[in-house]
A and B are shown apart, each in its own frame.
Chain A
Amino acid sequence: GESVGLHLPTLSVQEGDNSIINCAYSNSASDYFIWYKQESGKGPQFIIDIRSNMDKRQGQRVTVLLNKTVKHLSLQIAATQPGDSAVYFCADLEYGNKLVFGAGTILRVKS
């Protein structure tokens, strides 16, 4: 089936800087996207979601941007902290109940 993928496998940022994690999707019918954070030894943790009728959504220190024209998602983390170090996945919800994940981006925060 169609997949969701990421541009960068690893991202290293300095503590306090902003982080941007990118994701490309191929299913033009996708209408719901979710960002997850996965720390070592844990399951994916919901960060933020966005539906296709929006192009931007903000949470606490995080913003998701959706560009449907080029089928691209990004997750912006403001003032990145050491606790943000993890693997980040984008996923889309297909057929209403199946999450399709990308390969993930490792975020490393340098103190």
Chain B
Amino acid sequence: DAGVTQSPTHLIKTRGQQVTLRCSPKSGHDTVSWYQQALGQGPQFIFQYYEEEERQRGNFPDRFSGHQFPNYSSELNVNALLLGDSALYLCASSLGAGGNYGYTFGSGTRLTVV
């Protein structure tokens, strides 16, 4: 049973560019949450998608947007990249938006902005 799959694993982008990160949830999960983890810090909640809609959003600018597809997979898009966007981006999937059945994290996408 595959867990959460994220792609790509590593990415280098230039300031001002746009990036798209992808996430396939664990089999049986229907909810995807995205987190940003800066080096040496805990993950910070970006947003959560359930039933193809953004259900909750953390304190991130509109440059961060997302999408969920009918097969429950999700994309995270970041526009006008800043150096400070360099981080590990984690996807977590769960069954239902409430998290009562636990979250499974992927290994993340390491984004470096130069």
Contact = CB atoms under 8 A, between A and B. Distances in A.
B18 interface: no
A74 B59 CA distance: 28
Contacts, number: 60
B65 to A, nearest CB: 18
Contact of B42 (A41, A46, A96, A101): A101
B41 interface: yes
Interface of A: 1, 36, 41-46, 49, 89, 91, 93, 95-104
Interface of B: 4, 31, 33, 35, 40-45, 48, 55-56, 58-59, 90, 92, 97-100, 102-108
23 contacts: A36-B105, A42-B108, A43-B4, A43-B105, A43-B106, A43-B107, A43-B108, A44-B43, A45-B105, A46-B102, A46-B103, A46-B104, A49-B102, A96-B97, A96-B99, A97-B31, A98-B58, A99-B45, A99-B92, A99-B99, A101-B44, A103-B40, A104-B40
